[in-house]
Chain A
Amino acid sequence: MLDVVIIGAGIAGCTAAVYAARNRMDYLLVSDNFGGQFLESGMILNYPGVIQTDGFKFRSAFEKQLEFNGVQRLIGPHIKKIESIENGFRLIGDRQEFETQTVIIATGSHPRKLNVPGEDSFLNRGVTYCSVCDGPLFADKIIAIIGGGNSALEGIHFTHRIAKKIYLINIEDHFSAHAYLSETIASFENVEVIDKARTFEIFGDDFVQGLRYEREGKQYQLDVHGIIIEIGRTPNTDFLKGFVELDEKKHVVIDCQSRTSVEGVFAAGDCASGLEYQYVIAAGQGCIALLKAARYLSNRRDF
């Protein structure tokens, strides 16, 4: 039986794995992908010690750090279920099973959907959740970015030189983003902010032609040829239902030591209840989770 299995290879999981390797634990990093959400980040400007990078360069640096530390990783298996067994847990993947004494859940999150008509049918036909990927396809087009947080404003920074005009459709009357992002938006001449607006429909023919929104009781139509949806994230925790306690937004509930409701199971990063979701917080929580798992194991061995 392994000491610890870390599920997820984003910042939280990779940090935990580096500490596990350096602690000479019997561990495994398991993930269905390598790089997590930061891979989609167009610019990273707030990671300590790193002045400026992007998601792809950051991933390469992480990969080299894992290699340097001899981290054992298994990229491929998707963990579908965790069961309690005697003295530990069984992780059930699509092809393999793993038995371990402790678990660190670091499965991250994925883009939250608007859940409006047209969103699914126009996906990749003008609707996207990745501005750095598909933004350049909107050259000289009129587009809408839906959201009011960091990701939405980063999307504007990335696309305002590409698109002809950008409507920022924000359901709130203020941004919930870093000041350095929100203060520059006003200087972009081709960006128009529509606040207190709730998008309720996306329409088109072969491709997106527009959206409809409601503002102060009235309905409006906006003709756009691209829609970038950046309205937050949903934790990747569906497979944990009934195993650990989740909060109302489906984050794994953790205490300040990254402990979950199940003894021996820890969680870190965007899948965990932390109220703030940042790369550096994910790294810190990944570190705490691993150190607490190691302490839990050594306490258990002492008895």
Chain B
Amino acid sequence: MSNVKVYSTPACPYCRKAKEFLHENNIEFEDINIAADQRTAREIIEKTGRMSVPVIDIDGKYIIGYDEPALKETLHIK
């Protein structure tokens, strides 16, 4: 089973869509609100080189934005 983390901000609709997608596909994930955790926010910006949410970390692979085809491929969802 994949280790999935979602780095998000509370009002971001694409973050909510991403989380909805994971819920619908019964994929457990850790939800990290980076608006409330600036240290993690800085870390994730440095690691990805992007200032954009959501960032979805699947076993160390970063998917930036709500990219359904990429999520499906990485999580092997048909």
Question: Inside 8 A of A162's CB, which chain B residues have their CB?
Answer: 35
Q: Of the candidates B16, B35, B38, B49, which one forms a contact with A206 in the assembled complex, judged by CB atoms under 8 Å apart? A: B49
A39 within 8 A of B: yes
Contact in complex: B35, A136 (CB < 8 Å): yes
* Nearest-CB residue, chain A, relative to B35: A136
Question: Inside 8 A of B25's CB, which chain A residues have their CB?
Answer: none
Contact in complex: A137, B9 (CB < 8 Å): yes
Given A42-B11, A56-B16, A139-B38, A133 contacting B51 (CB threshold 8 A) = no
Contact in complex: A124, B50 (CB < 8 Å): yes
Contact in complex: B34, A133 (CB < 8 Å): no
A5 to B64 CA separation, bound complex (whole angstroms): 33
Contact in complex: B9, A226 (CB < 8 Å): no
A125 within 8 A of B: yes
Given A56-B13, A133-B12, A137-B41, A126 contacting B35 (CB threshold 8 A) = no
A260 within 8 A of B: no
Contact in complex: B53, A134 (CB < 8 Å): yes
Given A124-B51, A124-B64, A137 contacting B45 (CB threshold 8 A) = yes
Q: Of the candidates B49, B51, B65, which one forms a contact with A137 in the assembled complex, judged by CB atoms under 8 Å apart? A: B51
Contact in complex: B50, A125 (CB < 8 Å): yes
Contact in complex: A54, B11 (CB < 8 Å): yes
* Nearest-CB residue, chain B, relative to A139: B38
Shortest distance between the CB of B21 and any CB in chain A (Å): 12
A residues 104-159 with Cβ under 8 Å of B? Answer: 124-126, 128, 130, 132-137, 139-140, 158
- Chain A residue total in the interface (Cβ 8 A): 26
B residues 20-73 with Cβ under 8 Å of A? Answer: 34-35, 38, 41, 45, 49-53, 64-65
* Nearest-CB residue, chain A, relative to B13: A39
A35 within 8 A of B: yes
* Nearest-CB residue, chain A, relative to B65: A124
A139 to B13 CA separation, bound complex (whole angstroms): 19
* Nearest-CB residue, chain A, relative to B49: A206
B4 within 8 A of A: no
Contact in complex: B15, A133 (CB < 8 Å): yes
A207 within 8 A of B: yes
Contact in complex: A125, B9 (CB < 8 Å): no
A232 within 8 A of B: no
Question: Inside 8 A of B16's CB, which chain A residues have their CB?
Answer: 56
A207 to B52 CA separation, bound complex (whole angstroms): 12
A134 to B21 CA separation, bound complex (whole angstroms): 20
* Nearest-CB residue, chain B, relative to A226: B51
Question: Inside 8 A of A125's CB, which chain B residues have their CB?
Answer: 49-51
Please give 17 more A-B residue pairs, beta carbons under 8 A apart, in addition to A134-B9, A135-B9.
Answer: A35-B13, A54-B11, A56-B13, A56-B16, A124-B65, A125-B50, A128-B51, A130-B12, A132-B12, A132-B13, A133-B12, A133-B15, A136-B35, A137-B9, A137-B53, A139-B38, A226-B51
Chain A residues within 8 Å of B, Cβ to Cβ = 35, 39-40, 42, 54-56, 59, 124-126, 128, 130, 132-137, 139-140, 158, 162, 206-207, 226
A-B contact pairs, 17 of them (CB 8 A): A40-B13, A54-B11, A56-B16, A124-B50, A124-B64, A125-B51, A133-B9, A133-B15, A134-B9, A134-B51, A134-B53, A135-B11, A136-B35, A137-B45, A139-B35, A207-B51, A226-B51
Sorted from nearest, which 10 A-B pairs have the closest CB atoms? A136-B35, A124-B52, A133-B12, A136-B9, A132-B11, A39-B13, A124-B50, A137-B51, A56-B13, A56-B16
